[in-house]
Structure 1
């Protein structure tokens, strides 16, 4: 098992816990992002924190995105005392946005042995639509600039 395989496994395990805690039946890209933000060892975590996105900041951005989405359809979260989601009883399965993020990550290299943690972050951040781009925009994060930081980090690692 390569170092990246171990990293990916750890990220997916943490993302599964994030999904269960959210009461989600699926692990989505935003759960992967939360997991990366919690991983303190990898360069991908450092790129996120350099943009002010530690685990708490990512969670706050996702909460703002959820509230914003509810307001878009005319529901005011402040008008209701919404309970925290109950923890999912089933093991969450990989959702569409997470699968797409993984595909983008893997397709960003020619050979699997070239994969590094920052490639996983890049795959998540390259999404043009969905929860992650909306949450980043609401948090005031320039997604294109963050993608450029990840690419620059990968470039520096290659040198």
Structure 2
């Protein structure tokens, strides 16, 4: 079986997403973990768009941390009151695929005319198109305008080559 460049890319970002999930102490890889993975995967238009928007891995991580604290505050819980340590990663633990990641990949495939036309930019679009959830809340807190990001990523799909 011939493995395409997009297969390698998706495998790489999902594996990096697993590392991100483990670092968070999460049992599943969610879309925000894959977004972090996209931000570190070199030589793709998807990463370039994120970086040009000021969303490198650290900026996304900071936005996700703010989103977590903001969500706790909305529930009446102050993170600073507890001083809880970050999760202790377990490198042996296998993490599953979360619903937000599955949905993001479905949206990504829907944007390509076929698997041979699927690009990393489509994966990023699939993540950014989520209307609700951690990613849109974190991006809003980071001051990133999702619609503008999606448009910039869409523009790259016509010119992105392997």
Structure 2: unaligned runs, 5 residues or longer = none
Specify which of 90, 98, 101 is matched with residue 101 of structure 2: 98
In the TM superposition, residue 32 of structure 1 has moved relative to its aligned partner by 0.3
In 2, Cα distance between equivalents of 1:157 and 1:139: 27
In the TM superposition, residue 135 of structure 1 has moved relative to its aligned partner by 0.1
1:4-153 aligned at under 5 Å gives the runs 4-88=6-90, 90-153=93-156
In the TM superposition, residue 154 of structure 1 has moved relative to its aligned partner by 1.3
Tell me how many residue pairs correspond in the alignment: 158
Task: Work out whether residues 16 and 37 of structure 2, in 8 Å CA contact, stay in contact via their aligned partners in 1.
Answer: yes
More deviation in 148-157 or 51-60?
Answer: 148-157
Q: CA RMSD in A?
A: 1.2
SS in 2 for 1:104: helix
In 2, Cα distance between equivalents of 1:142 and 1:118: 17
Structure 1: unaligned runs, 5 residues or longer = none
In 1, Cα distance between equivalents of 2:127 and 2:62: 18
